[in-house]
Amino acid sequence: MIGGLIARLYPACGATGSQGMPIPDPVNIARLAEDRAGSAALAAPADFEVPPDLPTQAYANKAEAVFAALLLVGTTAPRTWLAAAYPTRLQAHFVARSARLNFPDIVIVEVRETTAGSAVTMYSESVYGRPGTMAQRRRLQEWLAALDVELLGTSEGKN
């Protein structure tokens, strides 16, 4: 009953996986993050164009390997589906759904090659603008910890 009402008010809540969401095009994460609302969070290197909510560490791994690890992290996260991947841009978009009422969030990940290896940027935002960044920050922290496990074999990375 309540789920049906929510789906009428918020149509994407009535879908499963990445259904109900438009297929995303590649984006400039810095532009998205510049105007981020209270329902979004950014994880990026400390020297990123936009100050991040969570700083990310540099990885000595090649960018393609970090991107592959991020795809694994995203596709194995609970209630999360790959919406689009752009391997030549090392960018992927996911839809993560809340356990209660199936609210969709978008998660965008990107890897950039650096002189020392790779830099990771992640952006997470609630589609329906639910207040508060705690869920978004927590998701990014969990994904960064899972990425550390994949790449470094430890859950005690420098994030």
Asked if residue 28 belongs to a domain, the reply is yes
- pLDDT, average across residues 131-149: 88
pLDDT in the model for residue 159? 43
pLDDT in tens, 57-92: 999 999 999 999 999 999 999 989 999 999 999 999
pLDDT surpassing 50 at residue 15: yes
pLDDT surpassing 90 at residue 39: no
Question: Residue 131 sits in a domain of what CATH number?
Answer: 3.30.530.20
Q: What is the pTM of this model?
A: 0.84
pLDDT surpassing 70 at residue 110: yes
CA distances from 73 to 2, 3, 87 (A): 32, 29, 15
pLDDT in the model for residue 2? 45
- pLDDT, average across residues 42-54: 95
Query: Which of helix, strand or coil describes residue 66?
Result: helix
Phi, then psi, of 105 in degrees rounded to 5: -120, 150
Asked if residue 39 belongs to a domain, the reply is yes
Asked if residue 157 belongs to a domain, the reply is no
pLDDT surpassing 60 at residue 147: yes
State the total domains in the chain. 1
Question: Of residues 153 and 117, which shows the higher confidence score?
Answer: 117
> Domain range for residue 20?
2-152
Asked if residue 158 belongs to a domain, the reply is no
Asked if residue 159 belongs to a domain, the reply is no
pLDDT in the model for residue 1? 40
Question: Of residues 102 and 88, which shows the higher confidence score?
Answer: 88
Asked if residue 44 belongs to a domain, the reply is yes
CA distances from 109 to 4, 12, 97 (A): 31, 21, 17
Q: Angle formed by the axes of helices 134-152 and 63-76, to 10°?
A: 120
How do the residues of the chain divide into helix, strand and coil, expressed in percent and rounded to 5?
30, 30, 40
Asked if residue 106 belongs to a domain, the reply is yes
Asked if residue 132 belongs to a domain, the reply is yes
Average pLDDT, the chain: 84
